Structure formats: structure tokens, C-alpha cells
Structure 1
Amino acid sequence: MTHATDPQMQAGIDTCTKCHQTCLHEAMNHCLEAGGEHVAPDHFRLMINCAEMCQTSANFMLSGSALSRRVCGVCAEICDACAESCEKIEGMEECARVCRECAESCRRMAGSGANASAGAQERVPADDL
């Protein structure tokens, strides 16, 4: 028996999956090959953390976990930090764009209104992650 996934939830899963794939691929291929600032520990670590968190968020949504909203909130924060880090490095525009899209999607999944606004105000700068 197949269970249908809510369209909004499926969109969140798809966006997280795309971000996971993009960050992991860019880190392991583009960044490692480019070297220099692309493999600076804080930047590279953040890209890997972002990929892992996006995969975790997708898994929580797929499992129907009651905690998926909280996980998505954290994912949005990490994606914003990763986008901020990527925006500082030439050639990382696509990764930054995908991270921003995922952050927005995860904020929607985490909830809207006051909770989403509060989350935006409490973002941790990329340098602190």
C-alpha cells in the first residue's frame, strides 16, 4: 500500500534533497579541485554540515516525525549560513542560490508567522558555525 505525501511536504523533501546533493557535490568536486578559500575549514565544514542537515530534514519529513518542524527550523538556519559563506566565494553562486531556496522552504515547513520571523532574527552567522 502506497501512502500519498502532502504536496507541500513533498516540495520540502524535494528542496532539501536538491540542497543535499548540490552542497555535497560542490564540496567534493568543485571546492576540493579549486582549493584555496574553497577548502578553508570553516567554509568546507559548513558545506558538509549543510548537506547532512538537508538529508536529515528530508528523512524526518519522509518518516512523518513529529519533530520534523523543529529539524526544518535548524536546517533553515544552517542553509542560510551556508549560502552566506558561499556568496563570499567566487564560483559558488549556484550553491548559494540552492541553499537560500532550501532555507526558505524549511522555514515554511517549520511554521509561519511569528515563529518564522523569530527564526530569521536568531540566525547564527556562518563564521560562528
Structure 2
Amino acid sequence: MAHTSPEMQDCIDACLRCYQTCLGMASNHCLPAGGKHVEPEHVRLMLACAEICRTSAHLMLLGLPEHRHTCRACAEVCEACATSCAAVGDMQDCVTECRACAAHCRSMAA
């Protein structure tokens, strides 16, 4: 297994937490809540965020230098998801995890 720096491990952990939070909140919070929580653009963004977080973690775990590209995209999608979740309201866990993941991913993409 390739050596994973502490910074990369922190980013992997942040990505996996964000993946779990976005997917879980989309399924177990937004769907039951209805209304603005289930507007298509919001739900698509949450699902895209979960997927790019999972993919970024996966490429870092594989040790591919190309993870910088997915991390850059991940940071952008996470910021958009955080903004959407903040606008919808009652989604602070998602906002917090998305912003944390975006910060980690920006540093890994640098």
C-alpha cells in the first residue's frame, strides 16, 4: 500500500464523512421533509456531492496523483452543496461536512 500522508488521510476521512452525511441526509432527511428539500436541483447536488466525495477518497486511497483533479472538482461541488443546504435550511450537518471537505480538498488539489 502506498504511503498516505497525514494530510491526505485527513482529506480521505473528510471526504468519507461528507459522502456519508450527504447521502444520509438526502435519503433520511430531505425525502421525508419534502418541499424545498426535494427540489430536483438540490437533490441532484447532494447526490453529486456524495459521489464526488466517494470518488476523491477512492483515488487518494489508490495513491493516484490524478486525485488532485477529483479533489479540485470535489471542493467546488462541496461548496455548491453547502450553499444549497444552507439556503434550504435545517441542514447544518451537511453544510458543516461539505465546507470541511471542501477545505481539505482544496489543500490536496494545490
Q: 2:88 aligns to what SS in structure 1?
A: coil
Q: Return the alpha-carbon distance in structure 2 between the equivalents of residues 89 and 3 of structure 1.
A: 41
CA contact (8 A) 2:14 2:104 kept: yes
Structure 1 residue 44: deviation in Å? 0.4
Q: How does 1:45-124 map to 2 (within 5 A)?
A: 45-111=44-110
TM-score by length of 2: 0.96
Q: Return the alpha-carbon distance in structure 1 between the equivalents of residues 80 and 89 of structure 2.
A: 16
Unpaired runs of 5+ residues, structure 2, are none
What residue in structure 2 maps to residue 36 of structure 1?
Answer: 35
How many pairs align? Answer: 110
Larger CA Rg, structure 1 vs 2? 1
CA contact (8 A) 2:74 2:102 kept: yes
Which of 1 and 2 has higher RCO (CA within 8 Å, sep 6+)? 2
Deviations 1:9-33 (A, max 9, x none): 1001000000000000000000001
Q: Return the alpha-carbon distance in structure 2 between the equivalents of residues 92 and 9 of structure 1.
A: 27
CA contact (8 A) 2:2 2:63 kept: no
Q: Percent identity?
A: 53
Root mean square deviation, CA, Å: 1.0
Q: Return the alpha-carbon distance in structure 1 between the equivalents of residues 29 and 9 of structure 2.
A: 29
CA contact (8 A) 2:82 2:99 kept: yes
